[in-house]
């Protein structure tokens, strides 16, 4: 099958011509469909070396729903407040927000909350569409929610809620929302096309995410591995609600965009997102009285990585380290169905990562405490004595200090918690600044 002819516009700096070729090849992939559009922006040492776009309907200044990329903006605000001395990563969340301490959540630290270790990936009965677009409503529901595992002992992706939880902490301390601080200290001073709360005046620039158009092989894979509404993955993606959330509809929701839902409601361009991380990676130049160059080395301090040599003084705050911007994979623990991630990918606006790309995690003593049977697949950070036993999983990677011994099907840690992060290999791509199949 021949490729689709797509015109690629924009520029690349000398030495980056190969990036343009790869971008053009991705747009021309026949499996992606004729409506596939995308943008790509790359800064190197402060210079915009790649600025490309292509596909029907998209331009350099087009905006698209960016789903969980929104979390990076939230974590940047938290990092700035940690740098300011306003927040402390190792302080209990309940000391800032007393109501959150219900049902054994009182010892969870802010660091653990940001690392998706709170155990409140959603609500028992799900959220209405109105609640899901309202971070204050989400926070109020989850303050009284019984956790799905012992807080702090495991990682599970808090897909639609981690932004609301972080926002409530920020509000309790500063009296202001994450959106207000992001706008004042980051977006406006740098003129970024990355909005958390889309102004009506910018709505005409937004391209909707298109629905998934899987190939026959992809559809067969999805059908063979159904996503249980009452599994932890289903709860995390609000599939247990009276009206289950459709991820494409959510991304295109006016309410999520206008309210700037802090886990998945951001809208931006590739330039805007890259520009935000450029601000973090830069030299901390003050613009409009707001220093954006957060001390990434300080924010990255994490108990499970402490004592390891640093990998450079500056990394994008919210991408890895003590305050990860996102946890790839799915929710560990329990549930009636198979837990797995849903991410943007080729062949549609949302792709469910295939079963072969995952790792198995079994709780050992002190590991995940869940309801019902153990979750079949997960990505996790161990907790408690023994941590996790890690089984097979194609393209799985393990980062962290030594102390692991080989065993059939994977690795087994020695006494103590599993340290580092397990990331399932991915054939899908994270939802980013693109439109249509592949968004």
Residue ranges of the chain assigned to CATH 3.40.710.10: 61-332
Spatial distance between the Cα atoms of 15 and 135, rounded to a whole number of angstroms: 44
pLDDT attached to residue 292: 54
How many other β-carbons are positioned within 10 Å of the β-carbon of residue 359? 26
Pick the more confident residue, 354 or 160.
Answer: 160
Query: Does this model's pTM top 0.75?
Result: no
Place 2 in a pLDDT band, splitting at 50, 70 and 90: low
Extended strands (E) in 111-163: none
Extended strands (E) in 296-427: 342-345, 348-352, 361-363, 388-390, 397-399, 404-407, 410-413, 421-423
Q: In the predicted model, what is the mean pLDDT of the chain?
A: 72
What CATH architecture does domain 61-332 belong to?
3-Layer(aba) Sandwich (3.40)
Token match 């939802």: residue?
Answer: 431
Place 437 in a pLDDT band, splitting at 50, 70 and 90: very low
Nearest of 364, 416, 365 to residue 390 by alpha carbon: 364
Among 19-23, 25-29, 140-144, the minimum mean pLDDT is found in 25-29
* pLDDT at residue 419 is higher than 50: no
Place 256 in a pLDDT band, splitting at 50, 70 and 90: very high
Spatial distance between the Cα atoms of 215 and 336, rounded to a whole number of angstroms: 28
Q: How far is CA 344 from CA 19, 233, 279, 332, 428, in A?
A: 21, 16, 25, 21, 6
* pLDDT at residue 378 is higher than 60: no
- Give the tens place of pLDDT for each residue, 174-187: 999 999 999 999 99
- Give the tens place of pLDDT for each residue, 309-346: 222 222 222 222 222 333 223 333 323 333 322 222 23
């Amino acid at each position: 099958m021949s490729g689709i002819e797509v015109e690629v516009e924009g520029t690349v700096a000398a030495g980056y011509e190969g990036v343009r070729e790869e971008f053009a090849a991705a747009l021309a992939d026949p499996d992606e469909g004729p409506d596939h559009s995308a943008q790509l922006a790359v800064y190197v040492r402060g210079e915009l070396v790649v600025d490309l776009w292509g596909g029907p309907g998209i331009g350099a200044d087009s905006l698209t729903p960016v789903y969980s990329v929104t979390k990076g903006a939230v974590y940047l605000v938290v990092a700035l407040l940690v740098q300011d001395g306003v927040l402390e990563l190792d302080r209990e969340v309940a000391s800032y927000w007393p109501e959150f301490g219900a049902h054994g959540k009182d010892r969870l630290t802010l660091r653990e909350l940001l690392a998706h270790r709170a155990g409140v990936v959603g609500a028992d009965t799900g959220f209405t569409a109105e609640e899901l677009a309202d971070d204050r409503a989400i926070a109020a529901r989850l303050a009284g929610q019984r956790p799905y595992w012992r807080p702090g002992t495991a990682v599970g992706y808090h897909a639609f809620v981690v932004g609301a939880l972080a926002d409530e902490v920020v509000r309790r301390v500063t009296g202001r929302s994450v959106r207000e601080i992001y706008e004042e200290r980051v977006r406006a001073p740098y003129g970024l096309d990355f909005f958390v709360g889309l102004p009506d005046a910018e709505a005409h620039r937004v391209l909707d995410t298109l629905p998934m158009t899987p190939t026959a092989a992809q559809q067969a894979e999805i059908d063979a591995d159904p996503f249980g509404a009452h599994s932890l993955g289903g709860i995390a993606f609000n599939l247990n609600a009276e009206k289950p959330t459709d991820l494409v509809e959510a991304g295109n929701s006016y309410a999520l965009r206008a309210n700037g839902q802090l886990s998945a409601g951001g809208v931006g361009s590739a330039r805007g997102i890259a520009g935000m991380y450029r601000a973090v990676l830069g030299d901390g130049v003050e613009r409009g009285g707001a220093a954006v160059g957060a001390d990434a080395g300080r924010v990255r301090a994490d108990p499970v990585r402490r004592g390891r040599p640093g990998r450079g003084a500056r990394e994008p705050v919210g991408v890895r380290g003590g305050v990860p911007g996102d946890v790839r994979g799915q929710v560990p623990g329990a549930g009636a169905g198979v837990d797995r991630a849903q991410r943007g990918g080729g062949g549609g606006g949302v792709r469910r990562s295939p079963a072969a790309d995952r790792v198995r995690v079994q709780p050992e003593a002190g590991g995940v405490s869940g309801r019902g049977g153990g979750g079949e697949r997960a990505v996790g950070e161990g907790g408690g004595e023994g941590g996790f036993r890690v089984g097979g999983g194609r393209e799985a990677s393990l980062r962290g200090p030594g102390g692991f011994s080989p065993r059939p099907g994977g690795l087994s840690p020695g006494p103590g918690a599993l340290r580092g992060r397990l990331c399932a290999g991915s054939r899908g791509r994270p939802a980013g600044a693109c439109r249509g199949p592949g968004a």
